[in-house]
Homo-oligomer: A and B are copies of this chain.
Amino acid sequence: MTTQDAHARAQNTADAASTANTADATHTTGAIGSHKGYLDGPRADIRVPVRRVHLTNGQDVTLYDTSGPYTDPAVETDVRRGLAPLRENWIIQRGDTAEYTGREPRPEDDGLKHTSPRGGTLRGRGEEGDLRGLDAVFPGRPRQPRRAREGLSVTQLAYAKRGEITPEMEYVALRESLAPEYVRDEIAAGRAVLPANVNHPESEPMVIGKNFLVKVNANIGNSAVTSSIEEEVEKMTWATRWGADTVMDLSTGRNIHTTREWVLRNSPVPIGTVPLYQALEKVDGKAEELSWEVYKDTVVEQCEQGVDYMTVHAGVLLRYVPLTARRKTGIVSRGGSIMAAWCLAHHQESFLYEHFSELCEILRAYDVTFSLGDGLRPGSIADANDTAQMAELDTLGELNRIAKAHDVQTMIEGPGHVPMHKIKENVDRQQEICEEAPFYTLGPLTTDIAPAYDHITSGIGAAMIGWWGTAMLCYVTPKEHLGLPDRDDVKTGVITYKIAAHAADLAKGHPGAQHWDDALSDARFEFRWEDQFNLALDPDTARAYHDATLPAEPAKTAHFCSMCGPKFCSMKISQEIREQHGATMDEVEAGMAEKSKEFAAAGNRVYLPLAD
C-alpha cells in the first residue's frame, strides 16, 4: 500500500459506504462504489491502479481497474490538456527511439477540402461546417512523434524475444498477479500482446492473451450521419469507467484525425483503429481509388498519433470473394467489403496482402500491434464457419507468421454470427492455424432474431468463446444492426461483456477470478446490502433497482428484500438455521438431535422480529 493510498484509506474507511454512494450515476469522474488504490511495483514509477471496495465488515476487496486517472480524486484531469505521459520515461530510457519531424497534418486527414460528390439530406453535424475540424484541433501540449532508430525493433515482442522484461511487462504482471517472467514468455511466444505505441505514453499497460484475464473492447466513433468529437471522448471515458480494456475509434465521418487526437491524448487504455476507413474518406468514398500509397500515408499518420493497434483486412484475397456469392448476407465486415470491391474493380490481389511486409516494417517502428481483420466473417447464422471464412483464416495464419518474423505483435479477429454448436471450432482452428496468437472476436451472436438485444445474443457467444480461449471480446451494443450507440448503449454493452469475460475467467479457472463472486455472495448471505451494491459490476443500477421497491434507509440493513418479503427470504431462514444449528458440518452432524431440542426450546423461532 502506498502512503497516499494509506492516507486515503484512513480518511475513508469509516464512511466507506456513504462516500462510495455519492458519485452521480452519470458522471465520468469519481470512483464507483470503491476507492482508487495503487499496487506498488518494483520501481517507484510502476504503480498499478486498482478499485478497492472497503466493506462494512472491515475487509477490502481489490478489483482490476481500467478507469484511469479519472477515478482518482488526487488527480486533476483536463480533457484539453490530456493525461500525463505515464510511460514516457520508460520509452526514452530504452534509447532505441528518437523524435522526428512528423508528417504534416493535412485538411484531408479530417475529410475537409472535399466537396461531396453526392447530394442528399442525411448529413451529420460534422459535415455541415468545414471549419469545425480546424476549430476543434486538440489544444493540449504539442509533442513530436517518435519512432525506432534506423533498423531497430522497438516492440514488446522484440524485447520479450531478447529476454528483456520491460517496465510495461512488470506493470501487467502486477496487474494480473503473475510473475513478470511468465508475462515475457507469453509475449515472446506470440501467445499474448501488450499494445503500446511509443506515441501513446498516456496508456496504462495491459496484456491480451488466453492465459490472462479475458479482456473487453468497446467501439466508439462518429459516423457520417451523427455524433461529435466531444461525444466520442466522453464515450471513451465512459466505456473505460465501466471496464473497457481497450477502445476502438471507428469514426468514419469528418474530423477523423482530430477526433482521434482528442481520444488518444485522454485515453488510459490502448486505442485501436481501422486505417482503411480514413483512407477511404481520403479518396472520397470510392473504393476503387484506394491505393497502397494512400493507405500507407494513413497508417503513418495514425502511428504518429499513437494508435496502439490497427485492424488490417489483409486476408481478403481476390480469389476468396467469389466464395461469398452464395452467402445469405454476403460480406458484412466494412473493411472486408471495401477490399473485396477494390480487388474486383482492379482484378488484382489486395494491396494490403501484397505490401504486408512493408506494413510490418512501419508498425514495428512504433510498436503498433496488428489486429488481423476477419473481413469475411459470417453475418448470419446461415453463413457461419463457411468456406470463405475458413479460407481467410488460413491466410491470417500465414500473415501472423510474417508479422511475428518482423517482431510485430499480432492478434487475430474472429466472428461474427455463429450458433453455439459451431463456436468452439472457431477458436480451435484459429489457435492451431495462428500458433496460439490472441483471438479477438466480435460476439459471436448466437441467433439473428433479436435486433435491439444483440448485446445479449452475442454476450452468450462471447462468454463461451472466452471460456474456450478467446483473449479479447469486442462488445456489441443494443443498437447493433439498427443505429449508432449512445452513452447508455455503451454502458450496457460494456457491462454485458464484462459479465461474459468474467464468466469466462471463472470457467477457465483463472485464480484471480472467483474471489469477487465469493465476496459478493458473502455480502448477499449476510444482508450487507451496501457491500453487495458496491461490489456489483454496476453499483449504481443495483442500488437503484433495490430502492425502486424499498427506498427507505432501514431497508439497506433489512434481512430481506421486496422480492420475497420477510417471511419467504430463504437466505434469512438459512442463516437462522445455521446460527441455531451450529456453523460447522461436524457440529451439526454430531449434535443433530441435541440441536433440534435446542431449536424447539428457543421457541422454534425461524423468523426473528422485523426490527432486529
Contact = CB atoms under 8 A, between A and B. Distances in A.
A532 interface: yes
A550 B498 CA distance: 30
A591 B432 CA distance: 35
Contacts of A344: 577, 581, 595-596, 599
A63 B576 CA distance: 49
A482 B287 contact: no
Contact of A596 (B287, B346, B611): B346
Contacts of A106: none
Interface in A567-612: 567-571, 573-578, 581-585, 587-589, 592-593, 595-596, 599-600, 604, 606-607, 609-611
A351 interface: no
Nearest to A346: B596
A537 B456 CA distance: 12
A465 B288 CA distance: 48
Given A460-B500, A568-B223, A520 B448 contact: yes
Interface in A524-581: 524-525, 532-533, 535-538, 541-542, 544-546, 548-550, 555, 558, 561-571, 573-578, 581
A448 B280 contact: no
13 contacts: A225-B566, A288-B606, A323-B585, A325-B578, A337-B574, A379-B571, A380-B518, A382-B514, A451-B532, A451-B536, A460-B499, A483-B562, A484-B563
A503 interface: yes
Given A345-B596, A478-B545, A568-B252, A420 B451 contact: no
A332 interface: yes
- 7 smallest beta-carbon distances between A and B, as pairs: A330-B574, A224-B565, A347-B596, A120-B610, A380-B521, A420-B507, A337-B573
A568 to B, nearest CB: 5
Tell which of A285, A321, A330 has the most Cβ of chain B within 10 Å: A330
B419 A503 contact: yes
A220 B249 CA distance: 43
B463 A571 contact: no
Number of copies: 2
A495 interface: yes
Interface of A: 118-120, 122, 124, 223-226, 252-253, 277, 280, 285-288, 321-326, 328-334, 336-338, 340-341, 344-347, 379-382, 419-421, 446-453, 455-457, 459-460, 463-464, 467, 478-484, 486, 495-496, 498-500, 502-504, 506-509, 514, 516-518, 520-522, 524-525, 532-533, 535-538, 541-542, 544-546, 548-550, 555, 558, 561-571, 573-578, 581-585, 587-589, 592-593, 595-596, 599-600, 604, 606-607, 609-611
Given A337-B570, A460-B460, A562-B225, A537 B450 contact: yes
Contacts of A379: 521, 525, 570-571
A477 to B, nearest CB: 10
A537 B453 contact: yes
Contacts of A459: 456, 459-460
Nearest to A63: B449
Nearest to A281: B567
Contacts of A582: 325
Nearest to A565: B224
A507 B341 CA distance: 34
Contacts of A498: 450
A253 B544 CA distance: 24
B446 A463 contact: yes
Contacts of A479: 545, 548, 563
Given A542-B482, A562-B223, A447 B517 contact: yes
A252 B564 CA distance: 8
A223 B330 CA distance: 51
Given A502-B447, A516-B449, A577 B331 contact: yes
Contacts of A450: 495, 498-499, 536-538
Contacts of A576: 341
Given A503-B420, A596-B345, A223 B563 contact: yes
B564 A514 contact: no
A561 B448 contact: no
B463 A118 contact: no
A511 to B, nearest CB: 14
A552 to B, nearest CB: 8
